[in-house]
Amino acid sequence: MTRNPLTEDVEFIRALAELLRAHDLAEIEVNREYGEEDSLTVRIARGLPPMPAIAAAAPAPAVHAPPPPAAPTHVPAAQPEEEPGMVTSPMVGTAYLQPEPDADTFVRVGETVAEGQTLLIIEAMKTMNPIPAPRAGTVRRILVEDGAPVEFGAPLMVIA
């Protein structure tokens, strides 16, 4: 009678599975040698029992949305885009009305400014960009809050 390796191997695996079950083992690994260049390695592992369902769901991760931008305190009665002497933002960034947190503001409402004088700074990509006065005049309105985000073309100040 000739040896049928497939049938013998299947029977061998069934016997290992029965040993696993009968002795309540977690896993069995056996290397079976048939000759110098012929072997079979079998590893049988019992699956983990299903996890019991948890009654309470895990809390959802907190989503931190940025706070809504604060409304400017110097809000004009008319639409700022319509006012002559409007100074608008040349970039997207964060507007700062003072050079450092504890310093005085660059300008105040009612002050006279010279052309090219720094009105405020806009931080963009960790770079502080001074915004100069486009013309000489008097600061009539400040339309942004210190630390407020600004968009390109956003109204910043009115100089008349």
| 160 and 137 Cβ atoms separated by less than 8 Å | yes
Q: Are residues 39 and 85 in the same domain?
A: no
- 55 C-beta neighbours (distance < 10 Å), count: 5
3-state SS assignment for residue 26: coil
Sign of the Cα torsion 121, 123, 129, 134 reads: negative
116 in a domain, yes or no? yes
Q: Are residues 143 and 87 in the same domain?
A: yes
The CB-side HSE value for 72 (13 A sphere, CA atoms) comes to: 19
**Where residue 120 sits, what CATH number does that domain have?**
2.40.50.100
Q: How many domains does the chain have?
A: 2
Percent of the chain with pLDDT over 70: 74
129-148 b/e with 16+ CB inside 10 Å = b?
eebebeeebebbbbbbbeeb
**Residue whose entry in the numeric block shows the structure tokens 């947190």:** 101
The yes-or-no verdict on residue 77 having pLDDT over 60 is no
pTM, two decimal places: 0.50
The pLDDT tens digits of the residues spanning 36-69 come to 877 778 887 776 555 555 444 445 555 555 555 5
> Which structural domain range is residue 16 located in?
5-45
10 in a domain, yes or no? yes
**Residue whose entry in the numeric block shows the structure tokens 């699956």:** 47
Q: Name the DSSP letter for residue 15.
A: H
The pLDDT tens digits of the residues spanning 112-140 come to 999 999 999 999 998 999 999 999 999 99
9 in a domain, yes or no? yes
